[in-house]
Amino acid sequence: MKIRTKIAIQFSIIVSIILLCFSLSIYFFTESSLIERFYVRIFNHASTTARLLSDVDEIDNKLLALIDKSSTSKLPEEAIQVYTLDDSLVFSNLKPVVYPKSLLDEIKVKKEIRRENGKKELVGLLFKGKLHDYVVVATASDEAGKEELRSLKSRLVIGFFIVVAITIISSMVFAKQALKPINSVIKQIDDISANDLSKRIDEGNKTDEIAQLSMKFNEMLERLQKSFEQQRDFVTHASHELRTPLASLKSEIELGLDDEKLSESHRETLQNIHFDVQRLIELSNNILQLARPFNSNILIFNELRVDEVMFQLQSDLQKKYQECRINVDFEKIANNDELLTIMGNELLIRQVFINLISNSLKYSEIKQVWILIDFDRKNVNIKIKDKGIGIHANDLEKIFEPFYRSQNAIGREGFGIGLAICKKIIDAHGGKIIVSSEFGKGSVFTVSIPHLSI
């Protein structure tokens, strides 16, 4: 999961939990204060009724019932029943309800009780008047309070979902915004290749965390570049140093071979040494080429017609490998020259295809190779196809590594460097080289290089 999504989810969960707690506390706080207020009102009504009955001589049951009827502050379904201490009912504003004796006893003991009685609220109180003491049981229904709670609940639920939806959207936008600098660092890192470690990442304001990460990365690049350069310098110097003595060794052997008095066995020995020295020269040249940096700042690039280069190569190599057949064919006909034109260094491009074609001939018995020219929206694709010994699936990834030779190469000449050089050259041209092969049936190497018609 991307960090962006993770941050958005975590942030939304935290906000939702806080919001849920907040909504619940508002709901329960409002509920308890509404209930409390309602009980206080029933209690006041109950004690006023008892006081009128007990302390005002002029008021009897009937008058009290009349007062109660005309009262404007009555609560919904309000029912008040007044009992003497020996449980005989002295007043009831509505049709009397029979309460259990235990309830009246409990009121006498506790002096005041409150509880839910079905859908109504019930208050019981022991009233001590100037003339009489009474037990009062009053009930009423808090419809308005319940309605208020219901509407509060639906407002809180709708509000909760709206705020959560807004939080999810805004946290995704926020996370994307916050991680934008990281995406830009990733893009810049993508542009840095092993062939060109000179690029650096933008260090921005040099203070925030991303800038510090970029600075650390740049420091690491600096160290890597230094050690790469040291390694490259060492290899370059070593192969340079080797080339001079090898070249003089080669010419001395050639001089020796010119001597007519040389015995047959000595001639054969010298010829073997000459062959080995020639191989060593080739090897040091290849190593030098592998170590040398190849990038567009150093190389001279020109417009190249790929099909022309291929036909030229066909005729050059056909002369060298007379017993072999090199075929060139178009897979598609281009109606625009630019589709077959690339920006490239002709010498290096030729070297890539000489390597690939020579390999195809070296690793096949029927000594035939097909050069197939194709293109797509972005690239010219040149396929070098053979019906040779093929490459084992496990080796396909590794054959582009320097000095890797697969099992099929045993008994055939080579150092395992050719494909590594090809890859390096094609990388420097912004292209790609891939291989597909079936063991025992043949291989296809496809080189794709951007054409000018993009």
Residue 388 contacts ligand ADP per CB under 6 A:
yes
Quick one: which of 80, 175, 386, 433 contacts ligand ADP (CB under 6 A)?
Answer: 386
Cβ atoms of 331 and 372 closer than 8 Å:
yes
Q: Which two tokens stand for residue 79?
A: 């029912």
Which range of residues in 9-17, 92-100, 220-228, 414-422 is near ligand ADP by CB under 6 A?
Answer: 414-422
- One residue of 51, 146, 387, 405 binding ligand ADP per CB under 6 A: 405
Question: Token pair of 42, please?
Answer: 């029933």
Among 409, 425, 447, 449, binds ligand ADP (CB under 6 A): 409
Among 129, 416, 430, 450, indicate the residue that binds ligand ADP (CB under 6 A): 416
- Pick between residue 83 and residue 370 the one whose CB is nearest to ligand ADP: 370
Give the separation between CA 393 and CA 374, rounded to whole angstroms: 25
DSSP string, 354-365: HHHHHHHHHT-S
Strands 325-330 and 368-375: parallel
Residue 436 interacts with ligand ADP (CB under 6 A): yes or no: no
| 418 lies in the site for ligand ADP, by CB under 6 A | yes
Among 54, 81, 443, 448, binds ligand ADP (CB under 6 A): 443
Minimal distance in Å, beta carbon 445 to ligand ADP? 7
Shortest distance, position 181 Cβ to ligand ADP, whole Å: 41
Minimum CB distance to ligand ADP, residue 394 (Å): 12
What is the full DSSP assignment across 169-228?
A: HHHHHHHHHHHHHHHHHHHHHHT-BTTBTT-----TTSSSHHHHHHHHHHHHHHHHHHHH
Distance CA 174, CA 5 (A): 11
How many residues in the shown chain lie near ligand ADP by CB under 6 A? Answer: 22
Strand 442-450 to 341-344 pairing: unpaired
Q: How far is the CB of 441 from ligand ADP (least distance, A)?
A: 10
Residue 222 Cβ, how far from ligand ADP at the closest point, in Å? 32
Phi, psi of 18 (to 5 degrees): -60, -45
Three-class DSSP category at 255: helix
Token pair for 454: 């993009």
Binding of ligand ADP by 204 (CB under 6 A): no
| Cα separation values, 265 from 44, 262, 272, 274, Å | 134, 8, 11, 14
Q: Is 419 in the site for ligand ADP (CB under 6 A)?
A: yes
- Asked if 451 and 374 count as a contact pair (C-beta separation under 8 A), the reply is no
CB of 401 to ligand ADP, least distance (A): 9
Stretch binding ligand ADP (CB under 6 A), from 63-71, 206-214, 219-227, 418-426: 418-426
Structure tokens at 234: 């060492």
Specify the residue, 2 or 441, whose C-beta has the smaller distance to ligand ADP. 441
Q: Which two tokens stand for residue 356?
A: 């690939």
415 binding ligand ADP? (CB under 6 A):
yes
Verify binding: residue 370, ligand ADP, rule CB under 6 A: no
Q: Is residue 399 within the footprint of ligand ADP (CB under 6 A)?
A: yes
Asked if 317 interacts with ligand ADP (CB under 6 A), we say no
Q: How far apart are CA 146 and CA 192, in angstroms?
A: 68
Instruction: Classify residue 330 as exposed, middle or buried by CB count within 10 Å of its CB (0-12, 13-18, 19+).
Output: middle
- 363 lines the binding site for ligand ADP (CB under 6 A): yes
Give the residue nearest to ligand ADP (CB).
414
Q: Which residue, 8 or 425, is less far from ligand ADP as judged by CB?
A: 425
Q: Is 3 exposed, middle or buried (0-12, 13-18, 19+ CB in 10 A)?
A: exposed
**Interface contacts to ligand ADP, rule CB under 6 A:** 355, 359-360, 363, 386, 388-391, 399, 405-406, 408-409, 414-420, 443
